[in-house]
Amino acid sequence: MSNKLETLDLFLEPADNSRLASLCGPFDDNIQHIERRLGVEITYRQNAFKIMGKNQSVFAAAELLKKLYVETQPVKGKQPDLEPDQVHLAIQELKVLEQAQDEGEVGSETFIKTKRGVVKPRNPNQSQYVANILTHDITFGIGPAGTGKTYLAVACAVDALERQEVRRILLTRPAVEAGEKLGFLPGDLSQKVDPYLRPLYDALFEMLGFEKVERLIERNVIEIAPLAYMRGRTLNDAFIILDESQNTTTEQMKMFLTRIGFNSKAVITGDITQIDLPRGAKSGLRHAIEVLQDVEELSFNFFRSHDVVRHPVVQRVVVAYDKWDEKQKREQIERAKARDAVQQAATSASE
């Protein structure tokens, strides 16, 4: 299977702003739901949609959008609102998840050997992700928590270090929660950013052992740095992991990607549905997907909810929260409609 990101342009006719607003939902909730379920990236301007992702997922998403757009046709002159339940049912009726999963052609199974044991991908998407990391200098892993993006990236980094393909591992992520207060936290630089890099540490401890990781950090073979400290550096002979990249700004993402030097690999992981940036700031990860989609030397890997490999109850917890969120959104929409109706009645009475 080609590693290149597939892109499909879709034009929904006839162009109708009211129908398009109904299709996308409040704050693009319906579009985000489709992105999560199918593992694609959807951008649009008026009735021109661009869908990016794996081949079958892209065509499945296009069919879904066309079907849902038909359901937004006015009934007796009234514009219907497309509810989250309708999106969910349309996904099931069209069996688009089966289409998206029926991609096969995944590369041969790849094992990652570390001194603590063998790390084995647990599903086709993970196998393809590992294969892409091994064959590309820059790899993006995009998807929900629990899909193994960070863990497998660390495993590949440890493997490369032990086989002496690189001389050091560098771990970084944006410290969004701390903002400008990072300097007031106690300890040295490593201790200041420890809370933000704990998932990376946990994976390292599991694969190398606590004592060895501590020794490698002391020798600067494993380096921990917040993203803000990367400016001006050129990183040669290194395996670099940027975690939580959805919280980078567009400027930070460009800065990071231009730090990569000779004989270096970079893995960028993130979840575009969990952006913590201030309102109005565009995610550097989302921007990179749009800008870099045609660069053949890069690899984009999209994970979906069914790729979650943690304890089985985690998947059920995620589903329960999704249902609760959808219920809250429906109630919010109903309250807004009720307020509008009251205001309209008051306006009519005053006239």
Q: Could you report the per-residue pLDDT of 127-151, keeping only the tens digit for each?
A: 889 988 988 889 999 988 888 898 8
Whether the per-residue pLDDT at 98 is higher than 60: the answer is no
CATH architecture of 112-310: 3-Layer(aba) Sandwich (3.40)
pLDDT at site 125 = 85
Confidence at residue 107, expressed as pLDDT on a 0 to 100 scale: 40
Distances (CA, A) of 43 to 12, 51, 53, 129, 302: 13, 7, 12, 24, 16
Q: What is the pTM of this model?
A: 0.61
pLDDT, averaged across the chain: 81
User: Could you tell me the sign of the dihedral formed by the alpha carbons of 278, 279, 280, 285, in that order?
Assistant: positive
- Rounded mean pLDDT of 91-113? 57
pLDDT of 209 over the 90 cut: no
What's the angle, vertex CA 4, arms to CA 136 and CA 48, rounded to 5?
Answer: 140
Model pLDDT, residue 165:
83
**pLDDT band at residue 62, thresholds of 50, 70 and 90?**
very high
Nearest to 333, CA basis, from 21, 83, 52, 60: 83
Quick one: pLDDT at residue 348? 76
Residue 104 has pLDDT above 70, yes or no: no
115 pLDDT higher than 60: yes
Read off the pLDDT of each residue in 146-170 and give the average, rounded to a whole number: 89
**Confidence label for 331 from pLDDT (cuts 50, 70 and 90):** confident
Q: Pick from 94, 74, 72: which is nearest to 83 by CA?
A: 72
Give the per-residue pLDDT at 309.
Answer: 66
Residue 172 CA to residue 159 CA, distance in Å, equals 19
- As beta bridge partners, residue 191 has none
- DSSP element (H, E) containing 51: strand 48-53
Question: Residue 185's pLDDT band (boundaries 50, 70, 90)?
Answer: low
User: What local confidence, expressed as pLDDT, does residue 124 receive?
Assistant: 82
Rounded distance between C-alpha atoms, residue 110 and residue 92, angstroms = 32
Q: Is 52 helix (H, G, I), strand (E, B) or coil?
A: strand
Superfamily of domain 1-105: K Homology domain, type 1 (3.30.1370.10)
The pLDDT score that the predictor gives to residue 179 is 43
Q: Residue range 161-175: average pLDDT?
A: 86
Going by pLDDT thresholds of 50, 70 and 90, the confidence category of residue 2 is very low
Any idea which residue has 């193994």 for tokens?
A: 148
pLDDT recorded at residue 181: 47
Residues contacting residue 151 through CB under 8 Å, at least 6 positions apart: 119, 199, 203
pLDDT score recorded for residue 256: 92
DSSP 235: B
Which residues are CB-contacts of 93 (< 8 A; sequence separation ≥ 6)?
none
C-alpha distances (whole Å) from 133 to each of 99, 105, 129, 138, 261 are: 25, 17, 6, 7, 16
Calculate mean pLDDT across residues 40-44. 90
Flag whether pLDDT at 1 surpasses 50: no
Q: Which residues are CB-contacts of 69 (< 8 A; sequence separation ≥ 6)?
A: 12, 19, 23
Give counts: helices (H), strands (E), the chain.
Answer: 13, 11
State the pLDDT confidence band at 269, using cuts at 50, 70 and 90.
very high
For a pLDDT cut of 70, what percent of the chain falls above it? 82
**How far is CA 264 from each of CA 124, 261, 284, rounded to the nearest angstrom?**
26, 6, 21
| Cβ–Cβ under 8 Å, residues 144 and 273 | yes
DSSP state of 192: H
Q: Kindly report which listed range (13-17, 37-41, 128-132, 181-185) carries the lowest average pLDDT score.
A: 181-185
Who wins on pLDDT, 349 or 8? 8
Please check whether residue 33 is in contact with residue 83, taking contact to mean a CB–CB distance below 8 angstroms: no
Angle at 118 between CA 116 and CA 122, to 5 degrees: 135
Altogether, the residues listed in the chain come to a count of 351
